[in-house]
Structure 1
Amino acid sequence: MKKLLIFKEKSLKWQLLRRMFLLLVCFLVILEIFQYFFLKQYLIRTREQLLESRISNVCHIVDTTNSENTLKKNLFFILKNSIYFNTSASVIDKDGNTLLSFTNNKSSIPDTPPSKVSPDGPKLSPYEYKLILKRQGNLDGYSLIKNKHGDLQITIWRKIGKLNSPSGLIQLSTPFSSVSPLLYKQLYIYILACTLILILSIIIGGSLIKHTLTPLFNITDTLKDITIGDLNKRLPENNNQIEINQLSNAFNTMFSGIESSFNREKQLKKQMQQFVSDASHELRTPLTSIRGFVEVLLMGSYKDEKKLKFALNTILTENNRLTELVNNLLTLTRLDKGIYTEMVKQNMKNIIEEIYPQLKILASNRQLILNIHDNNTYFLGNKNQIKQVIFNIVQNSINYTDPENGIITISLYTENNFLVLKLSDNGVGISEEDLAHIFDRFFRSEVHRSRASGGCGLGLSIAKSIIEGHSGEISAKSTLRHGTSFYIKLKIL
């Protein structure tokens, strides 16, 4: 089991090198098999061609000899002078009987025909020779036939006389073992060459594989350096290797997502801590005020009617502030959970006209101007929530504009496929630095810190959550001492 685990944990470089080695071995073995058989056929064919040249000379002499008696007397000498060393010759009559058979396997051949058939050459039965005589044509090609010793012989035949009615056969053969030394020598050389090739392939292939895997090793080193606290590192995306580039791109995309999620989590954690801190502060202030006045009343101030009335009014005011704060927090909680009331087809002009009288009362002596350029455009939304957005923004404008000279303008128009609601004022304005945080919960800029202005810093956060729940956009532009404008965009139906 341990050996198997070690085998499975081999490095990629080792696995590639091993597979390349096995593939090369298989290729060389297959190549040697083909080479062996091709060389074998070539050597046999060479021996066959040599036999054919000799037997062609014999057949030519036989065909030009007119006297049959002379042919029988001289046939041995004709064959003797025609064959080379280590070649067997036989003459077969038309009945398949062997008339003459000898082998040139020594430095000289007997001067007279041998009395016995040579055991070195192949000898077929009379029936088999008759079948050969009956074949059509001149018996081209060769056959591998064993002799009495079981040794393979490269054998060819030629007919004597007419092709259709031959008077016999001439058979020449040479041992197949005559080509074996060349085959074995070639095999030995090939094995040595293959061994050298395999050794060089391991050395060179290992170096090439290491060089090829260098980008992967670099990726591994970079990944080891990346920690949760340092997610801004990225892998190189130009490694001159498509697959490695794709891997780097995938890792970089993953790390970007992780970094974004991690930063978002840090931001949410920070916001939550700030939220808890601000909420605690906002709750503690009215509670402290209520407690202080209750303690004063318990000390006997309730006997003074003016002080009693002032204390009770203050307690009621702080209670209203607490109620508003809790309601706002509950609203934000519902919005954060994605709890939205039913949305139906709405007309923004009608909503503005419905709440205009209430806004006019809130504005008091300030000018409240309506500038509506759209009458029949509809959007999908919730009327009460849109009213709350308008109330929150207008209330924000009322808090930070002059009570006598303040001007609040509500404009409605279309832009591309969006309905745009613009709420602007000529109040104190917001600095560029604070403008990026006005939708944060409990945020109030330095010029808005006075509690006399009212509010607890949740109105704009609620407005933003509601608009985003309507798949819309809300933004603001402001200049110090020149006022602020809020822009709400909702998609037109």
Structure 2
Amino acid sequence: MKILNKRIKFKSLQWQLFSRFFLILLVLLFVMGLSQYITTKNYLSKSKVKTLSAQFHNIDMKFLTQLSSTEALNKYGFIIMDKLVSINTEASIIDKSGNTILTSKDLSHSQLEENHHKDEEDKDKEKKTFSIPKLPNNDYTEILNQYGNLEKYFKLVQDENNNLHLVVWRKLGPINSPTGLIQLSTPVDDIEEILSKEISIYSGISILILILGTILGAAIFKRTLTPLSNMNKTLENITVAQLNTRLPENNEQLEIDTLSASFNKMLQRIETSFEKEQSIKEKMRQFVSDASHELRTPLTSIHGFVEVLLRGAAKNEKQLDLALNSILLESERLTKLVNDLLVLNRLDQNTEVKFEKENINIVIDEISPQLKILAGKRKVEIELENNIFVNINKDQIKQVIFNLVQNSIRHTNENNGIITLSTSTENIESNKFLVLKISDNGSGISEKHLNKIFDRFFRSESHRAREQGGYGLGLSIVKSIVNAHNGKITVSSELGKGTTFSLYIYLAE
């Protein structure tokens, strides 16, 4: 369990950010330290080069160019070195073959003391003993062949005791055909000491920075990621009953605020989907209950008449005729109910329907004879605007008109009822619509029922509707067909004066 917890901790965002921050800090400190080390070393080395080169000014350079033979080198070598050698500085004279003719070690100690007694600061210093560095003869030959008088030429060379020396040279004799070299060298142990102290100080400061960076970084990252932790806790506690919970979007961190906004949108979609699902389930439960009730009524009636016939009523012609007619009527009602349910089921499944460009006037003309027959003594008035084209499924729109007119027939007086069908066009928010209105002068619908009339099995006058053979599915089918056409249907009504259904469908381009 402990190992698992450690693995989880190492995979956490806070740990990964902190570890990468620590690594970046470590790399930066290393690069800064290395850069400072190289810069300091180069600076100190160049300073020593300048110091050594400055010692050549103690000698007349014209004098050096006049030493055109090895004998002259041997003759004046001590004089040259006596003027060049100082504390921690050694000198050598090399001939043109690369052989060492004379070194500062060949000078007596008394000569050196006498040469340096004027320098009060150097009196208190004890001259360190170092071997004089020596290069292979071929290297000296290459140096002699270098262009110029070697003013900027230097090397770091190890002596026989592996001590590192900074070495500079000047040519003796003519520059283009030198007879030898004079070599000055000084140990660089003081540079190493300075660099070692600098490394120690920088290492200590770096460790302190790493410790402070670790403490501050851990605190800063923890505080920075607090909104993310709070978001995680909030999301973990959200249940089905708390889908209305929202995450704060004012954390003053753009990424966290964006993530919170995304989660809130997702929660909104989930909440909406859940509410829609619950609504569908409730409607389905109510639908199954209502359908069961409506199916049971005709089935019970049919069952009752069959029992009557089996008990002997079949021998009575009048009773037989009455029972068979009743069974036929109830079976027709039952068939209509089942067909309506099948239509609604197909519409609910969003089955692909073929739409074609149609003239709505022609569609209404085709169905008007049937509508007038259904209306009986009621008056059917048709008021059509010329040539209105829409993309529709003709059969479905015919069913919409038929259902709406049939609904008006049920709720208007048989003798003085008036049903009006009218068409027009209307611009709504830069869109052009066909407006098909079906009005009647019937009993009307109460205001409290207007929002329910498209619900399945809803009937404001259930007894009258039952007598007329209605089950409250006609308007539900109308609503589903209109939705499938991306249209809209509205209703306005006044009790005792009548009802108007307005159907809106996009005009064809």
Specify the TM-score bucket, using the shorter chain as the normaliser.
0.7 to 0.9
1:361-396: CA deviation from partner (whole Å, max 9, x where unpaired): 22223221111112x233333333222211111111
- The 3-state SS of whatever aligns with 2:367 is helix
8 Å Cα contact 2:84/2:91 also seen in 1:
no
The answer on whether the counterparts of 1:122 and 1:145 sit within 8 Å (CA) in structure 2 is: yes
Q: Is the 8 A contact 1:369 1:407 kept in 2?
A: yes
Cα separation, 2, equivalents of 1:308 and 1:126:
142
Of 445, 457, 468 in structure 1, the residue corresponding to residue 472 of structure 2 is: 457
Which residue matches 1:350?
362
- SS of equivalent to 1:38: helix
Pick aligned residue for 2:302 from 268, 290, 294: 290
Shift of 1:107: 9.4
Distance, in Å, in 2 between the alignment partners of 1:197 and 1:176 is 31
- Determine the structure 2 residue equivalent to 1:490: 505
Please tell me the residue identity of whatever aligns with 1:85: I
The CA distance in 2 between the partners of 1:434 and 1:391, in whole Å, is 22
Distance 1:108 1:47, change over 3 A: farther
- 3-state SS of 2:162 partner: coil
- TM-score, structure 2 as length reference: 0.85
Q: CA deviation at 1:86?
A: 1.5
Note the residue ranges of structure 2 that are not aligned, 5 or more in a row: 116-128
Q: 1:439 — aligned with what?
A: 454
Superposed, 1:285-324 pairs within 5 Å as: 285-296=297-308, 309-324=321-336
SS class of match (1:318): helix
Instruction: Give yes or no for the alignment of 1:476 onto 2:491.
Output: yes
Distance of 2:254 and 2:146 partners within structure 1: 66
For residues 1-23 of structure 1, the C-alpha deviation after alignment (integer angstroms, 9 at most, x for no partner) is 99588436522111111111112
Question: RMSD of the alignment, in Å?
Answer: 3.4
Q: Is the 8 A contact 2:388 2:434 kept in 1?
A: yes
1:83 equivalenced with 2:85 (yes/no):
yes
Q: Which amino acid aligns with 1:35?
A: Q
User: Do residues 263 (structure 1) and 275 (structure 2) align?
Assistant: yes
**1:31 Cα deviation after fit:** 2.1
Letter in 1 for 2:195: L
CA contact (8 A) 1:439 1:460 kept: yes
* Amino acid paired to 1:462: I
- Residue 411 of structure 1 corresponds to which residue in structure 2? 422
Residue 96 of structure 1, CA deviation:
3.9
| Cα distance change on mapping 1:483 and 1:73 into 2, 3 Å | same
Amino acid at match of 2:172: I
Is the aligned partner of 1:135 residue 2:146? yes
Equivalent residues in 2 for 1:94-173 (5 A)? 94-102=96-104, 110=112, 120-141=131-152, 142-173=154-185
The answer to whether the 8 Å contact 1:340/1:469 transfers is no
1:222 equivalent in alignment to 2:234: yes
Contact 2:68 2:179 in 1 (8 A): no
Give the Cα separation in 1 of the matches to 2:55 and 2:277.
Answer: 97
Alpha-carbon distance in structure 2 between the residues aligned to 1:364 and 1:33: 105
Distance 1:100 1:234 in 2: 92
> What amino acid maps onto 1:18 in structure 2?
S
Conserved 8 A contact 2:485-2:505: yes
Bigger Cα displacement from structure 2, 318-327 vs 272-281: 318-327
1:101 Cα deviation from its structure 2 partner? 0.8
Deviation at 1:254, TM superposition (A): 2.0
When the two structures are aligned, how many residues end up with a matched partner? 488
Amino acid at match of 2:467: A
Measured in 2, the distance between the counterparts of 1:106 and 1:252 equals 93
Q: TM-score, normalised by structure 1?
A: 0.88
What amino acid is aligned across from residue 457 of structure 1 in structure 2? G
Q: Which amino acid aligns with 1:195?
A: I
TM alignment of 1:48-87, pairs within 5 A: 48-60=49-61, 62=63, 75-76=77-78, 79-87=81-89
Q: Percentage identity across aligned positions?
A: 49
Given the alignment of the two structures, is residue 467 of structure 1 paired with residue 482 of structure 2, yes or no? yes
Residues 96 and 295 of structure 1, relative CA distance in 2, 3 Å threshold: closer
Alpha-carbon distance change, 98 to 487 in structure 1, aligned in 2, over 3 angstroms = same
| Worse overlay, 47-56 or 356-365 | 356-365
SS in 2 for 1:357: helix
Give me the whole-angstrom Cα distance separating, in 1, the residues matched to 2:46 and 2:135: 22
1:105 CA displacement: 13
Separation in structure 2 between the aligned mates of residue 448 and residue 197 of structure 1, nearest angstrom: 89
Residue pair 1:467, 1:473 contacting (<8 A) in 2 also? yes
Of 179-188 and 75-84, the range deviating more from structure 2: 75-84
Paired residues of 2:65 and 2:172 also in contact (CA < 8 A)? no
Q: CA deviation at 1:443?
A: 1.3
3-state SS in 1 of match to 2:184: strand
Name 1:178's counterpart in structure 2.
Answer: 190
1:343 CA drift (Å): 4.2
List alignment gaps of at least 5 residues for structure 1: none
Residue in structure 1 matched with residue 120 of structure 2 by the alignment: none
